[in-house]
Structure 1
């Protein structure tokens, strides 16, 4: 089961300053937004939810979303995400990226700017 309030609480811990926004979608929905009121995230409770498999495998549930969150200190923010309830994915494809799974099993990435693209 995907528990919308639980997943929203995780992302509120992960995204400092964000808050809950109450829409008119009913009790199965929770919306969170950044402090400036910009684009937010919405979560819907789903009793029949099956977590995605990442990397994807034929015939298995695929990821429905993927967030990439830029951070200044990859190790510190990875530790903070794990303390908030994330867990590291088994496959880590790049040195400047950490793939983590949220409590519902959705993959998301924390990353620092790639050394190859860094300003000179």
Structure 2
């Protein structure tokens, strides 16, 4: 038996906002769409991200703070080098992301928050 991770699903109140952000950031097309759920998918591999409507969604606090909404997961996106890292951060910021106030990981790892508040990282990944 073979099991593969196919899609990571992010809850949100504004699906179009996140679809616009991630399709622009990753250049992945929309592959599935209904009113409360939209999926995008990589053209290069079998990975996807989907966005599911949740009227009670509360953005997580980064870093975690006792008594506040906790992060359940985050996404890591690989970049080739420090130059690509800088370019990815600048592009994500233009698209509506914010650099997280607190950073862990030095010069090769930047934590950001997407327009709905989900943490994600750009990482110089050489292996």
In which range does the TM-score fall when normalised by the shorter chain? 0.7 to 0.9
2: CA distance between counterparts of 1:103 and 1:90?
A: 15
Question: What runs of 5+ residues in structure 2 fail to find an aligned partner?
Answer: 1-11
- The count of corresponding residues between Structure 1 and Structure 2 is 112
2: CA distance between counterparts of 1:43 and 1:30?
A: 5
Question: What runs of 5+ residues in structure 1 fail to find an aligned partner?
Answer: none
5 Å-filtered alignment, 1:20-99, equals 20-22=30-32, 26-36=34-44, 38-72=46-80, 73-94=84-105, 95-99=107-111
Moved over 2 A (4+): none
**Higher strand residue share:** 2
In the alignment, does 2:112 pair up with 1:112?
no
**Higher helix residue share:** 2
Kindly report the root-mean-square deviation, in angstroms, between the aligned alpha carbons of the 2 structures: 1.7
Q: TM-score, normalised by structure 2?
A: 0.80
